[in-house]
Every structure is written in C-alpha cells, then in structure tokens.
Structure 1
Amino acid sequence: MDTRALAVFLAVAETLNFSRTAEKLHMSVSAVSRAITRLEEEVGQPLLERDRRSVQLTPAGREFRDFARRSLLDWQQLRRKLGSEGELAGEVSLYCSVTASHTLLAPILAAFRRQFSAVDIMMHTGDQADGVSRVLSGQDDVAVTIRPLQLPNRLEFLPLLESPLQFFMPAAPCQVRDRVLQEHAADRFDWETIPLIVPERGTTKELLDDWFREQGIRPRIYAQVAGHEAIVAMVSLGLGVGIAPQLVIESSGLRSDVETVPVAAGLPGLSIGLAALRQRLASPLVSALWDVAGQTYPASG
C-alpha cells in the first residue's frame, strides 16, 4: 500500500475537507480525491462519507485511520533500520506555524541537517494552537507550540525561548488608532469601546481571558481568528487592536504597519518550544531532533 496515499488519507481524516487537505499537501483537489478513491478500492468499502456540505469518517474509515498511523510509523522505523550503519535515516513529522518555520526552526533544522543528512523532515504548517492536539492524536511527532497552561501527562515540552504578549494597533492614521491614542493620553483604556482582534482558541486566548478577568474588564471583541499572523494582518488594515506574541509581531512582514500599545498591567509571557509524546521520544529520530533543538537554544534549559 502506497505510504503517500496513507499520508493523504490521514490529512483528510484530520481536516475533513478535501480543499484544505490539497492546500496543505500542495496537491490538486482531484489528486487528493483520486488517492482516497484508490484506497477505498483496495480496502473494498468506503472510508469517507462525503457530500457537497461535509466529509465524515465511516466506521471503516476510523479503523483504517488507526491502521494508517501505525503503518507510517512502522515504515519510518524500517527506513531507519535499513539506513546505513551508524547513520540515522527515516522521517520525522513536524508541525509549526508559518512564523515558527522561518524564525525559531531555521537554525534548528540547519544544525539537524548537518548532523543527520539522511533524516527527512515532513513539515506541516497551520495555527500553532493545533500543535498539541496533533501530537496527542499521533498526526505529528513534534510540534512547535506555546506551552499550554495545563500540560497533558503524556506530553513532554522543551522550552526554547520566551516571548511576551503584546497589544498592538495600526500604525497608519485611522479611527482605531485615534481612539487608542486618545485613551492613552487620558491615561486610561476603555476596553469596552476599543475593537479587539483576538485568537479564537489556544493558550493566548486563555491567558487573555484570565488577564481581562483579573482586571475586571469586559472587552469589546471585534473578531476571533485562527492564527497570530492573521491578527497582525487584520490590525495592519485598521480593523482593530490585536494581541500576539512579540516574536510573531517582530517577524511579520507587516511589522512596520503596526505599533505596540503599552498597558499599565503587564501581560504574561509565553514559553515557546517543542512538544512531543513521551513515548515518541524513545524514537532515535525524534530524540535526535529534540537534542539538536536543546543544543541550538541552550538557554532554554
């Protein structure tokens, strides 16, 4: 059975959307559909129930999902075993946000490739808020993510760097900016009238909710969106005041289009690092990546 087809099926099983799967895997929608159809022909029954509105796993599809995960893991282990003596070979599945892929991860992967050139990194990108769930479900070996407030028992977390949360506003003149500057000049912020753009889920949202609760503030939420990068983009368009880790703001191509908003009661900081299942760290491949990351950011320990 084609391991690439298994990977395509697992991606569809995760998104339950052919278009999003095609975008993630850099394939056409028709190619994704053909891969699923071939698998269903091999299995002899439908793996997915699909119509114009939704896609759902059939009972056989749920069972096949477990089989596909085990099969890909076995394949990776076999590749490692058949690799040249004394050299690691195989594949590590890594999940991260776009920002993390070209900032935090860049020096880690450069060092990793120098030491383990026969190991392939299969990278998936998306909202970092999904990182922990993808690791827990076995979809990826390692994720770059913010440390959750409650770390699951099965999960190991390697801190790499700290990044404070920051409020920020549009840099160009607009109603939102004018309102923030007026509030700042008066040494107060009326959060009930300032439109806020916040994450729809994840640790940042949880920390922000706690911060507002501690301050006794009932904010005016203009929009809840997926991904810190999307928040920076919306703020740059003058749609509201946003919140994101400083790392994301500084790394954004829109950095010059937004400006930090200082607040009297400081926001909490974030610990950004790698997450992996403890049992997966027994894999020499995953352990090697983990060790290289710790060596690349030695201050994290």
Structure 2
Amino acid sequence: MDLNLRDIRALVAVAEAGSFTRAAERLHLSQPALTVQIRRLEEAVGARLLDRNSRNVALTPTGRELLPLLRKSLRDMENVLRDARAMGVGESGTIRIACLPTFAASVLPELIIGMKRDVPRVGFQIRDVVASTVNALVRNEDVDIGLTGGEVTDPLIDVLHAGVDRLVAVCPKSHALAKKRRIVPDDLARVPLVLTAPGTSVRAVVDAALSETREALDIACEPTYMMTAVAMVRAGLGVTILPETAREVRAEPGLVVKPIGHPAFARPIAIVKKKGRTLPAVTERFVESMREAMRTPR
C-alpha cells in the first residue's frame, strides 16, 4: 500500500496535539475517520505508530523515529502541491520563447517588465533568432512559443495571432532619397542596396516587393543582422530596408527613415506554438500581452 498524504498529515496532527479529539478538530474530521487514516498509515508502514488508551495517546518507538521523516515528507509534498497550483493558475513558471531580433530589442523588454510586475516568480528563456530558426525551435519543442516573420506554412505549427510589420528605407541624411517625402520601389531599384541575407523574413518580403521592377538590383552587401546593415548604410555602402519597429533604424542620428509607398513592403509576423501542445498557464498570460502589444500602434 502506498503512503497517503492525508494519512501522514493525520499522524503528525495527533503527535503534535497529543490527542485524537484535538487532532480531529484541527483537521475537521470525525474521530472515526481520523482513526481510519492512522490505521491505514500503520498498515502501509507495517508497524504500530501510536499507543492509545482511554486517557492519552503516545507515539511508539517506531512512531518517534518515523515522525521527523514523515514531517519532512509532508513539508516537501505540500511545497510541491503549492508550486504546482501556482503553475497551474499562471502565478509561476518559465516562459520559453524564440523571437525575431527586432521584437527582442524593441517590444520584448517592456513586456518582460510588465510580466514580472504581475508575476514575480516568472522566469524567461529567450532565443532571439531569424524566422526560420524560430519555427524550427517551436517545431522541435525547444521553446513553447515563437514570434516569427513571413508566411507560416508549417503544418506542425499553430498561429495564435497574426499581424504585419511595415518596412521602411534607411539612408544617410545626405542621400538623394532622403529628400523625398515618400519612396517608391523604382527609387530603390536605382540605388545600391544593403539587404539582409537570403533566408531572413525581411529579405523574402523585399525580394518579392522588388521583383516587378524593371531595373537590375545593385546589392552591395547582404548582412544577417540589422545593426550590421545600419552600420554599412552609415559607411555609405547603400540604402537598407528594415522593419519600422526595429530600434536599429533610429539608432543613428546621421540616418533618416523614409516610408515606402507600396503595400508589398510589409512583413507578416505571427505568434506561434507547436500544434497539439498545451501551453503553460503563465505562457498563456504572456501570449495575451504579446497580442495586445501587436495590436497597439507603436
């Protein structure tokens, strides 16, 4: 027979109260029910734990030796149950998220601060990576949720929320395009470009948006990271196209950000999870915060 948490609690209560009557009152049990629990524990242990007569009750030698161990087991199990309940209602736990670097460097820090204010016992494991890696981490269950870019076509991934991230052109203040109020695709096709590397979600949108221009593109550099692209623009290597939400686009006082007058310059972004997997309650709470941040114009 397995040890039962209620039975252990019954023995500890009797030992501390020195009385079945007082222990039963403390546990809100009838004395017969308390007696059943003690007998059940004794059967599980295989030894008598209490000596009882009409005047008092006392631990047997075996009961005295086991009591500290049973008290510790009771505390440990109560701690486990308390932690499990907290996780079940979203009051603790670890949020494992993979996200685009633009999101990690812009919106994510504010969301973490807000979450830690509401749920002090929450922890975070963050992977800031390109969209294809976000999807792979979600698919392989290395993370629970992802903020990815581009169209989500993987049948193993569920989209929890979808939005768009407008793209803008970034160029030096001295550049000819800096004087234009709005830039069109043909303007971009006529100047050297610093584009993020093939395989990134931004590059896929840019390639598709510029595919109808008649000019052959002059691609000067293809860095992976946006900060590198900004540095290359600062050095005069060309014009880059980045998400409007990326903090990198406004990090350099010598550069200007110009809107692009074409609807194709918008990157789909989405909150995703593995299909068929239940998210921890605390992660569900964080997903709601992410949804709200994506709905709010920034």
Asked if TM exceeds 0.5, the reply is: yes
Q: Does the CA-based 8 Å contact 2:167-2:260 persist in structure 1?
A: no
Aligned pair in 2 of structure 1 residues 252, 138: CA closer, same or farther (>3 Å)?
farther
1: CA distance between counterparts of 2:290 and 2:259? 32
Match of 1:286 among 279, 283, 286: 283
Q: Is 1:243 matched up with 2:245?
A: no
SS in 2 for 1:225: coil
1: CA distance between counterparts of 2:140 and 2:279? 17
Aligned pair in 2 of structure 1 residues 291, 181: CA closer, same or farther (>3 Å)?
closer
Q: Is 1:199 matched up with 2:196?
A: yes
SS in 2 for 1:151: coil
Q: Which residue is 1:166 aligned to?
A: 168
Q: Is 1:87 matched up with 2:86?
A: yes
Q: Does the CA-based 8 Å contact 1:204-1:244 persist in structure 2?
A: yes
Q: In the TM superposition, what is the alpha-carbon distance from 1:243 to its structure 2 partner?
A: 0.6
For structure 1, the 5+ residue unaligned runs are 1-79
Output the amino acid matched with 2:284. Answer: S
Please give the per-residue CA displacement for 1:96-145, whole angstroms capped at 9, x wherever unaligned: 34442242113322232233322311122344553222222333222222
Aligned pair in 2 of structure 1 residues 104, 160: CA closer, same or farther (>3 Å)?
farther
Aligned pair in 2 of structure 1 residues 101, 251: CA closer, same or farther (>3 Å)?
farther
Name the Cα RMSD after superposition.
3.5
Match of 1:211 among 209, 212, 234: 209
Match of 1:122 among 101, 121, 125: 125
Q: Does the CA-based 8 Å contact 1:129-1:227 persist in structure 2?
A: no
Q: Does the CA-based 8 Å contact 1:107-1:296 persist in structure 2?
A: no
1: CA distance between counterparts of 2:207 and 2:95? 35
2: CA distance between counterparts of 1:126 and 1:133? 10
Q: Does the CA-based 8 Å contact 1:87-1:116 persist in structure 2?
A: no
Q: Does the CA-based 8 Å contact 2:185-2:213 persist in structure 1?
A: no
2: CA distance between counterparts of 1:163 and 1:188? 17
Aligned pair in 2 of structure 1 residues 268, 231: CA closer, same or farther (>3 Å)?
same
Aligned pair in 2 of structure 1 residues 106, 220: CA closer, same or farther (>3 Å)?
same
What pairs up with 1:87-236 in 2 under 5 angstroms? 87-88=86-87, 89-128=92-131, 130-146=133-149, 148-159=150-161, 162-171=164-173, 173=174, 177-178=175-176, 180=177, 189=186, 194-200=191-197, 201-236=199-234
Aligned pair in 2 of structure 1 residues 286, 81: CA closer, same or farther (>3 Å)?
farther
Q: In the TM superposition, what is the alpha-carbon distance from 1:270 to its structure 2 partner?
A: 2.6
Aligned pair in 2 of structure 1 residues 217, 181: CA closer, same or farther (>3 Å)?
same
Percent of pairs with identical residues: 16
What pairs up with 1:23-102 in 2 under 5 angstroms? 84=83, 86-88=85-87, 89-102=92-105
Aligned pair in 2 of structure 1 residues 111, 265: CA closer, same or farther (>3 Å)?
closer
1: CA distance between counterparts of 2:277 and 2:80? 16
Output the amino acid matched with 2:155. Answer: N
2: CA distance between counterparts of 1:159 and 1:243? 25
Q: In the TM superposition, what is the alpha-carbon distance from 1:207 to its structure 2 partner?
A: 1.6
2: CA distance between counterparts of 1:298 and 1:91? 25
Match of 1:258 among 238, 255, 278: 255
For structure 2, the 5+ residue unaligned runs are 1-78
2: CA distance between counterparts of 1:134 and 1:279? 15
1: CA distance between counterparts of 2:249 and 2:212? 30
Q: Is 1:276 matched up with 2:279?
A: no
2: CA distance between counterparts of 1:108 and 1:94? 12
Output the amino acid matched with 2:246. Answer: V
Q: Does the CA-based 8 Å contact 1:156-1:278 persist in structure 2?
A: yes
Aligned pair in 2 of structure 1 residues 183, 268: CA closer, same or farther (>3 Å)?
closer
Aligned pair in 2 of structure 1 residues 217, 129: CA closer, same or farther (>3 Å)?
farther
Paired positions, count: 213
SS in 2 for 1:222: strand
Query: After the TM superposition, which segments of 4 or more aligned residues of structure 1 sit over 6 Å from their partners?
Result: 181-184
**Structure label with greater radius of gyration:** 2
